[in-house]
Structure 1
Amino acid sequence: MDMNAQKAETAEIFRQMAQMEDMPAEAAVHFQFVADDHSADWDAFTQAAEGSGYAVEWYEADDEDGERYVEATSPVIALTPEAVWAHEEKLTLLAAIHGFAPDGWSFFTA
């Protein structure tokens, strides 16, 4: 897991999104994680993320080739690359402990 590369990728994605559309000042951010293997502990990751203030949902694969994933949603935060990364880094490290790898993020406004 290369956290520096992941941080740079997050900053670049944020920059690209900001070029395509006006970004809101605040938003809740969804962070998606996939199981590294069959031993990933879905319940433990869910409990840990919820205990850290995130809402968590599990999603089944859309088709046979798709992967199940878990999504942890932040409360509404300032929508800046630094704020997104702060949450992404925390959740990525937490996810790794329980057998998950990051698989992207998105945001929504109320």
Structure 2
Amino acid sequence: MSWDYEFQKNVTAVTLKELRDSGDLATGAQVTLDLEFLPTDTADADACAKALRTFGYEVEIHEDGMIAASIGNVPLTLEGVWQQEERATKIALDRGYEPDGWGFWEP
């Protein structure tokens, strides 16, 4: 299966625009970005967690197999979020996981 990175990036752009338009996005803010990944039939949780940790993500593997990955000091811009989202997605897809969204605590 080929992943649609362009669609994923566009969804991220729309989400950030909505946050900016609502006034909930501080210009220049840096956040701890939280990403979630759901297992597929070929999921290898240990390999995915190890690879994510190699790139500086803090990782939790949940009982249902979902992986939560967090990384700090991410600029709350399309470029900042997308850099982390794309990297983590590639790592996860290669190890049997699919992205399920991202979020952050208010800065």
TM-score (norm 2): 0.87
Q: 2:79 aligns with which of 78, 82, 87?
A: 82
Query: Deviation of residue 17 (structure 1)?
Result: 2.0
SS in 1 for 2:83: helix
Q: Which residue matches 2:59?
A: 56
Of the three residues 2, 22, 25, the one matched with 1:23 is 25
User: Match of 1:7?
Assistant: 9
- Give the structure 1 partner of residue 45 of structure 2: 42
How many percent identity over aligned positions?
A: 34
Secondary structure of 2:49's partner? helix
Which string of whole-angstrom CA distances, capped at 9 and with x for unpartnered residues, describes residues 51-93 of structure 1? Answer: 11000012345xxxxxx41111012221111110010000111
Which sections of structure 2, spanning at least 5 residues, go unmatched?
Answer: none
Range 68-77 or range 44-53, more displaced: 68-77
Q: TM-score, normalization: structure 1? A: 0.85
- Kindly report the root-mean-square deviation, in angstroms, between the aligned alpha carbons of the 2 structures: 1.5
In 2, are the aligned partners of 1:31 and 1:71 still within 8 Å (CA)? yes
How many residues align structurally? 103
* Structure 1: 5+ residue stretches without partners: 62-67
